[in-house]
Structure formats: structure tokens, C-alpha cells
Amino acid sequence: MFCHGTPWSSALWEPHARALAGEFQVFLWDMPGYGQSSKDPEHRVSLDVQGELLADLLQHWELEEPHVVTHDYGGAVALRAHLLHGAAYASLALVDVVALAPWGSEFFRLVRDHVDVFAALPPAVHDGAVRAYINGASYGGLDEDQRRMLTEPWLGPEGQAAFYRQIAQADQAYTDEIEPAYSSLALPVLVAWGTQDTWIPVDRAHRLAGLVPGARLELVPDAGHLIQLDAPIALATMMHRWLTEQERGRG
């Protein structure tokens, strides 16, 4: 199962999921407030809700101990679902994830502190801000198709409001709450990171791997936070190797 982060959607993982579908049963989901899921302003999209909903979704799908691959915010969601809500995994891959303090880029923190101002931006200004923000997540640069895929969910009145709402509801307290429990994780864990990640610097990878007993650390050179687009072949090879090893271990 693949879990995306913010401000992304399952579309970021879709090519990797499709490539693995010949050997594995693969599941994708858009968290509430993201991608093709509901952007109803009445629906909370904070980390505590997302973690609980992931645990519920696994029960609904009757998935017992899936392999879980996560990115960005999705790492914290999967960790909360496991540590607080009893979701059982066969293995957990944490790829450039939100898991340790401090988190949030300078732009992310600026928006969170002035969300009403940003939510009222003229559409053209918002469009430019979102594009610039997303461009900064890639080390190698995005082509127009990639940029469109990542920005389109956040355009228009509904998308603009949802973009700033998910930032406003972000709170580091939700990872501070579970960080002391990382040392209790008793499952195979892969920590993978792009060495050029400016959103969540690579020092977090070393810290996180050091906190999780037996965690494997793999670094991907010349990749930023959008490692799926910066280094797709390296990441796909790593994920295939990891999942194949875990399946052999289960057998």
C-alpha cells in the first residue's frame, strides 16, 4: 500500500504502483482533502484524523499486515495508524518522510501563520505561489506535465481553499506525540532519502534510522524531496528489492 504526503496525491506513487502490480497486489489512496478525495471544508484533514482513517481503511479493505510505502506526511500518517490505532504492517518504508521535529519549509510555516491572507490571494497569484512552492521540492526540475499533475488539485476555488486548509491544520505536535515510540517499532523498516532534499534535509534520515531498531538506511544521490520524479529508476529498483526481500522473509 502506498501513502502520499502533502501537497501531493496518489498520482505521485501511481507509476511505481503500476510497475509493481504484476508481482504484488497494490493499493493507492488519496487522503481526505487531497487528490480526488473530498475537499469539503467541514472535513478535518489534520494528521490525527488521517492516521485514524488509514487504520479504518485497512480494516475496511480487509488488509492484514500489508507492506506500506510512505512519503512525506504519509510517513507520519502510517506511523500514527500503527502506533496509536493498532494498524499492523508486514513492513514499512519511510521515504523522505515527516516524522521528526522540526518540520515544515519556510513557506509552509509562513502560510500556516498567515493562512487567511494566503487563502484570499487572487487566483493568478495563488497559481504562481503553488507552482513555485512545488518546484522547490525537486532537485532536477519538473517538466510541464509533472508540474500540472502536482498543481491541478490545488487550483480553482475549491482547490485553493483546500491547499491552505491542509497547511493550517498541520501541527508538529502530532509527530512529537509518537516520536518517543519509534524505538518500540518491531517490524522491518526502510528509511530512504534523497540526499538533496531541501524540504526535509537528509540529517533527518540518519536521525530516524538511528531511532528505529534495525532500520535500513538507503540514500539516493541527486534526488530532492520529490524523489519519485528526480530518481524514478533508483527508487523503483530500491522498492522492488525491499518488497521482494520482505515477501521472501514472510515465506
Residue 250 pLDDT class (50, 70, 90 cuts) = confident
Residue 66 domain-assigned (yes or no): yes
> What's the structural domain count of the chain?
1
CB–CB of 223/250 below 8 Å?
no
Residue 231 pLDDT class (50, 70, 90 cuts) = very high
Q: What is the mean pLDDT of residues 41-67?
A: 96
Interacting residues of 73 by C-beta distance below 8 A, sequence separation 6+: 4, 5, 6, 31, 47, 50, 97, 98
Q: Which pLDDT score, from 0 to 100, does residue 251 have?
A: 61
pLDDT in tens, 6-51: 999 999 999 999 999 999 999 999 999 999 999 999 999 999 999 9
Residue 147 domain-assigned (yes or no): no
Q: Which pLDDT score, from 0 to 100, does residue 106 have?
A: 80
Residue 156 domain-assigned (yes or no): no
Residue 146 domain-assigned (yes or no): no
pLDDT in tens, 110-163: 888 888 899 899 999 999 999 999 999 999 999 999 999 999 999 999 999 999
Q: Which pLDDT score, from 0 to 100, does residue 103 have?
A: 86
Q: Which residue has the cell 522491518?
A: 188
Residue 31 domain-assigned (yes or no): yes
Residue 145 domain-assigned (yes or no): no
pLDDT in tens, 76-125: 999 999 999 999 999 999 999 999 999 877 888 888 888 889 989 999 99
Residue 121 domain-assigned (yes or no): no
CB–CB of 118/154 below 8 Å?
no
| Candidate from 94-98, 168-172, 218-222, 228-232 with smallest mean pLDDT | 168-172
**Host H or E run for residue 97:** strand 91-97
Domain containing 30: what range?
2-103+172-250
Residue 37 domain-assigned (yes or no): yes
CATH code for the domain in which residue 12 is found: 3.40.50.1820
